[in-house]
Amino acid sequence: MRSVVATSLTLVLLVSAVSGCLFDTDSEAEDRARLQRLEAEIDALVGTPACSDSSVCAFLGVGSKACGGFRRYVIFSKSSTDTARLMEKVQYLNALEDYFNHKYGWGSDCSVPRAPKVRCVDGICVDLNQQED
C-alpha cells in the first residue's frame, strides 16, 4: 500500500514539475475542483472526435478509482486531437486523483467500466458498446 502511494506521489511530482503546476492544496474542495477542471480540459481537447475511418479512433482510461481502475473512458480521434497533450492531461489527472484518493481516504463503488469498442460511424468515433445497451 505504501509503495502505491509513494509511486503515485512520485508520478504526480514528476508530472507537476514537467507541467509547472502545483498539485496539492490544503483544501479538499479545491482539490476536487482541480480534478473537475482537468476533466473539462480533457473533454475540450477531445471535442467531437471526427474520423474518416476507424483507424483514427482510440480511447484512454480517465480517472482513478480508490479500488483501482478507471472511472470512465474518453474516445478521441487521433486525426483531430493533440494526442500527446491529451495523454499528458489524462496521465496527470489519473495520478493526481490516485494521490487524492489516498490523501483524503476517498472511496469508490469498485465497479469496472467496460472498455469501449471504438469505430468510425457517420464521421464520428463512437463506442459500439453504448449502441448495444
Residue 132: the pLDDT is 64
- Let me know if 2 is exposed, middle or buried by CB neighbors in 10 A (0-12, 13-18, 19+): exposed
Of 14, 5, 1, nearest in space to 91 by CA: 14
Say if CB 123 and CB 50 are below 8 A apart.
yes
Say if CB 35 and CB 103 are below 8 A apart.
no
> What is the spatial distance between Cα 68 and Cα 112, in angstroms, rounded to a whole number?
9
> What is the spatial distance between Cα 108 and Cα 117, in angstroms, rounded to a whole number?
25
Residue 2: the pLDDT is 44
Assigned C-alpha cell, 39: 476533466
The pLDDT averaged over each successive group of 10 residues in the chain (133 residues) is 49 48 72 96 97 98 94 97 97 96 92 95 95 65
Q: What's the pTM?
A: 0.79
The secondary structure element, H or E, covering residue 26 is: none
Residue 13: the pLDDT is 52
Dump pLDDT digits (tens) for 80-89.
999 999 999 9
Residue 11: the pLDDT is 54
Assigned C-alpha cell, 4: 502505491
